[in-house]
């Protein structure tokens, strides 16, 4: 049997333990790496490259610098994993694909890698992902699929596309992970693995050195044990002040509960967890207001052929698809090739429609501190149910992406936090903020997290 997952730990608790002399960066890194490297563990499909030896050396250096009174930054000594989309100097960025297995090694670190290292983080490895980040399920036919730690016996999906990122944190192999989110690829795996996750406003975090899926929709965000952890890592990547989030009571917050589209077809565990969360927030003094949000129904209709993501992905991958289609995951190839049905005029119309819906949504949500929805309409299904059934895969993929992708289209920031009871199927609550209102969104999400934790 693989070792069981440890209780989730926060960055603040790990840093406090180091400061109190109860542990060291070397001990934390060694424990995280040992879990990833255990022969009977689950680390194999989680990491496409593991940096155990280098991470241990860096941790010893961090401890020596700390002993000498040197401040290495807000993430000093913390084990962090990165998705296989980010360049690390000297390594090959495969993007979860065998198509890029022989690509030239990166000449320099990605911008967010430089910033994480500058904040003192210790990279423990590159995590597995859906090929080219194009699915919310997390299955990878080339490198294997990490099983969700919640129910590994039945091998349930991890969520995608940042599959290994979520499992690396849930399994104690990192205290935080960096993923990307084009249609939900941070929030979906975070929700399905019982984690917090944050999708920033796309333009806030630099994407230099990140292999793209859709330049209109891509964003880079963290997955971790708490909203505060996500806020600290997000600040480091955005080059902002890493000061703690302010303490704001949930009482008096105006929270719009979106009604259109996002509540359709919810599975019973999601319905129950969402209703309980809303009841507890109301009891804590939050003002919950049903928000029709009718324009959300327009978004899937605009993306029936894959929308912006398919068109932009085809522009990136078409030459490889012409030469090496057999090396692509067939489902990923099919989704990219949908972009061929989108004409130049269609693409321009889509950009105009997006701008219009963004303006309408901005006016609609301006009176609220945040908008609430379930992050995913379902709990994680078994991998076997989807692996060999294209129709079931396609239906589940669209369902998992539906709620999260709507807010990527609207260029919003959004957090997810777990709302299920311990031992039950993980369910996420999505807290949607305003464009470039990231710090406020994280503050509100933390207030909600604190209020729910009180129960």
pLDDT tens-digit series, residues 326-354: 999 999 999 999 999 999 999 999 999 99
What are the extents of the domains in the chain?
Answer: 11-238, 254-302+352-453
Q: What is the mean pLDDT of residues 414-421?
A: 98
CB burial of 192-228 (b: ≥16 within 10 Å; e: otherwise) equals: bbbbbbbbbbbebbbbebbbbbbebbbbbbbbbbbbb
Strands (E), 338-398: 370-374
Question: In what helix (H) or strand (E) does residue 313 lie, and over which residues does it extend?
Answer: helix 307-324
pLDDT tens-digit series, residues 241-293: 999 999 999 999 999 999 999 999 999 999 999 999 999 999 999 999 999 99
Give the integer Cα–Cα distance in Å for 446 and 245.
Answer: 8
DSSP secondary structure code for residue 105 in this structure = P
User: What CA–CA distances, in Å, run from 126 to 37, 66, 378?
Assistant: 14, 26, 28
Residues of the chain with pLDDT > 70: what percent?
Answer: 99
On the question of a cis peptide bond just before residue 35, with omega within 30 degrees of 0, the verdict is: no
On the question of a common fold for 11-238 and 254-302+352-453, the answer reads yes
Q: Answer yes or no: is pLDDT of 84 > 80.
A: yes
Q: Which residues contact 278 (CB under 8 A, 6 or more apart)?
A: 257, 288, 372
Give the integer Cα–Cα distance in Å for 121 and 2.
Answer: 27
pLDDT of residue 431: 99
Please say whether the beta carbons of 311 and 344 come within 8 A. no
Q: Answer yes or no: is pLDDT of 2 > 60.
A: no
The domain 254-302+352-453 is classified under which CATH number: 3.90.1300.10, 3.40.50.200, 3.40.50.1820, 3.40.190.170?
3.90.1300.10
Name residue 290's beta-bridge partners: 257
pLDDT of residue 41: 73
User: What CA–CA distances, in Å, run from 186 to 23, 56, 177, 271, 317?
Assistant: 30, 27, 10, 22, 23
> Quick one: angle between helices 52-67 and 25-37, nearest 10?
170
Q: Which fold has domain 11-238?
A: Amidase signature (AS) enzymes (3.90.1300)
User: What CA–CA distances, in Å, run from 300 to 56, 360, 408, 409?
Assistant: 46, 16, 12, 10
pLDDT tens-digit series, residues 208-224: 999 999 999 999 999 99
* HSE-CB for 148 with a 13 A CA cutoff: 30
What is the separation of C-alpha 301 from the centre of its chain, rounded to a whole number of angstroms? Answer: 25
Strands (E), 336-381: 370-374
Active site residues: 83, 161, 185
Q: What is the mean pLDDT of residues 112-130?
A: 98
Q: What is the mean pLDDT of residues 300-323?
A: 95
pLDDT of residue 3: 60
pLDDT of residue 1: 37
Q: Answer yes or no: is pLDDT of 193 > 50.
A: yes
pLDDT of residue 344: 95
Length of the chain: 455
pLDDT tens-digit series, residues 21-56: 999 999 999 999 999 999 877 778 999 999 999 999
Give the integer Cα–Cα distance in Å for 386 and 406.
Answer: 23
Q: Answer yes or no: is pLDDT of 383 > 80.
A: yes
Phi, psi of 191 (to 5 degrees): -65, -45
Q: What is the mean pLDDT of residues 113-134?
A: 98
Average pLDDT, the chain: 97
Residue 97's SS3 state is coil
Which of left, alpha, beta for 334 (phi over 0: left; psi -120 to 50: alpha)? alpha
Give the integer Cα–Cα distance in Å for 451 and 361.
Answer: 27
Q: Which residues contact 36 (CB under 8 A, 6 or more apart)?
A: 43, 46, 47, 50, 52, 124, 125, 168, 173
- The alpha helices in 76-183, defined as continuous H runs, are 111-118, 163-170
pLDDT band with cut points at 50, 70 and 90 for residue 146? very high
pLDDT tens-digit series, residues 432-450: 999 999 999 999 999 999 9
Of 447, 68, 419, 63, which Cα lies nearest the Cα of 276? 419
Q: Answer yes or no: is pLDDT of 20 > 50.
A: yes
Q: Answer yes or no: is pLDDT of 138 > 80.
A: yes
Please say whether the beta carbons of 308 and 215 come within 8 A. no
Q: What is the mean pLDDT of residues 188-217?
A: 98
């Amino acid at each position: 049997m693989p070792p069981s997952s440890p209780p989730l730990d926060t960055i603040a608790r790990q840093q406090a333990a180091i400061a109190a002399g109860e542990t060291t960066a070397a001990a934390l890194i060694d424990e995280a790496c040992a879990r990833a490297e255990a022969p009977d563990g689950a680390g194999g499909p989680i990491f496409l490259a593991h940096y155990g030896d280098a991470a241990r050396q860096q941790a010893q250096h961090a401890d020596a610098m700390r002993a000498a009174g040197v401040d290495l930054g807000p993430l000093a000594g913390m084990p962090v994993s990165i998705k296989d989309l980010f360049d690390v100097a000297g390594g090959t960025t495969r993007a979860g694909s065998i198509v890029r297995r022989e690509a030239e090694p990166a000449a320099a670190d990605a911008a967010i890698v430089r910033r994480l290292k500058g904040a003192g983080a210790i990279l423990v490895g590159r995590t597995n992902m859906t090929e080219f980040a194009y699915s919310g399920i997390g299955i990878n036919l080339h490198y294997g699929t990490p099983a969700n730690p919640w129910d590994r016996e039945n091998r349930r999906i991890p969520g995608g596309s940042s599959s290994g990122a979520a499992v690396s944190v849930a399994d104690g192999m990192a205290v935080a992970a960096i993923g990307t989110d084009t249609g939900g690829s941070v929030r979906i795996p975070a929700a399905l693995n019982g984690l917090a996750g944050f999708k920033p406003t796309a333009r806030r975090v630099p994407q230099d050195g990140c292999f793209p899926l859709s330049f209109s929709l891509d964003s880079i965000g963290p997955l971790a044990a708490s909203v505060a952890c996500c806020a600290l890592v997000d600040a480091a990547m955005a080059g902002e002040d890493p000061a703690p989030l302010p303490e704001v009571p949930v009482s008096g917050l105006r929270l719009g509960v979106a009604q259109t589209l996002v509540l359709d077809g919810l599975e019973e565990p999601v319905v129950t967890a969402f209703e309980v969360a809303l009841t507890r927030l109301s009891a804590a003094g939050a003002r919950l207001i049903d928000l029709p949000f009718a324009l959300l129904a327009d978004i899937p209709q605009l993306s029936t052929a894959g929308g912006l993501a398919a068109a932009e992905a085809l522009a990136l991958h078409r030459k490889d698809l012409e030469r090496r289609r057999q090396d692509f995951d067939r489902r990923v190839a099919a989704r990219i090739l949908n972009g061929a049905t989108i004409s130049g005029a269609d693409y321009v119309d889509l950009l105009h429609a997006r701008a219009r819906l963004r303006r309408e949504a901005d006016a609609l949500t301006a009176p609220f501190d945040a908008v609430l929805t379930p992050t995913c309409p379902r709990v994680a299904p078994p991998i076997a149910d989807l692996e060999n059934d294209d129709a079931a895969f396609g239906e589940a993929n669209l369902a998992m992406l539906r709620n999260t992708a709507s807010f990527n289209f609207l260029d919003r920031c959004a957090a997810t936090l777990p709302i299920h009871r311990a031992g039950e199927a993980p369910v996420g609550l999505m807290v949607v903020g305003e464009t470039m209102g990231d710090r406020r969104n994280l503050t509100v999400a933390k207030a909600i997290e604190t209020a729910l934790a009180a129960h």
